[in-house]
Amino acid sequence: KRPFGIASVNKAEGTFKIGVKVVGKGTTEIAAFEENQEISVLGPLGNGFTIEEGKKYILVAGGTGVFPINFAHEVLTSKAIEHSVVEGFRCKEQIVLNDPSYILTTDNGDAGIHGNCCNGLDTIPEEKLKDSVVMCVGPLPMMKAVGNWAASHGLKCFVSMEQRMACGIGICLVCICKIKAEKEGQEFEHKRCCKDECGNL
């Protein structure tokens, strides 16, 4: 099984979309699926983001993290909840699901702001930052950087971890992540991406 974040949902039609980046054998096979081909899907798995009324949100996506962040944007928009979206890519050729309202960054500067997601976050006005909650999906180094940025601004930050899973129900321990321990006297602990809320990276 390969983990994918939901990119979009159409409740009326009973359908959902995912985004697939071809990087190996598994994703190559998935990208070759034909229309109306039947496949096996297990889900939803893991812990989704919690959305609270009365809060403002800052959504941050790096790479394929743009897909689940697009879904979060859809949900927040449908609930008329104020939010900003920051997307980071290496170059303009990799840009997908970009909306004109998003803050766009590229590492090489050939589109949007020259820099990474944190450079994009720095452009958000101070009044929009107040009482906001950060939600982030992307490569681990990027999520750590965004978490540090959020902490420096006194904001809560939630990240979404994606790992290969064998069972998806908490038994196999394939999707274990090493995180900072919350208990005193313990530096690190291990949590399951499919079942546990992971705390601090």
Q: Please, which residues bridge with residue 114 across strands?
A: 106
Task: Using DSSP bridges, classify how beta strands 56-62 and 15-18 pair: parallel, antiparallel or unpaired.
Answer: unpaired
Structure tokens at 78: 């449908």
> What CA dihedral angle connects 77, 122, 179 and 19, to 10 degrees?
40
Dump pLDDT digits (tens) for 1-31.
677 889 999 999 999 999 998 989 989 999 9
58: part of which helix (H) or strand (E)?
strand 56-62
- Please say if the pLDDT value at position 201 is more than 50: no
CA distance 31 to 13: 22
- Please say if the pLDDT value at position 200 is more than 80: no
Q: Are 195 and 170 in contact (CB under 8 A)?
A: yes
Dump pLDDT digits (tens) for 74-124.
999 999 999 999 999 999 999 998 889 999 999 999 999 999 999 999 999
**Sign of torsion, CA 193 85 62 40?**
positive
SS3 152: helix
Nearest to 4 by CA among 68, 70, 88: 68
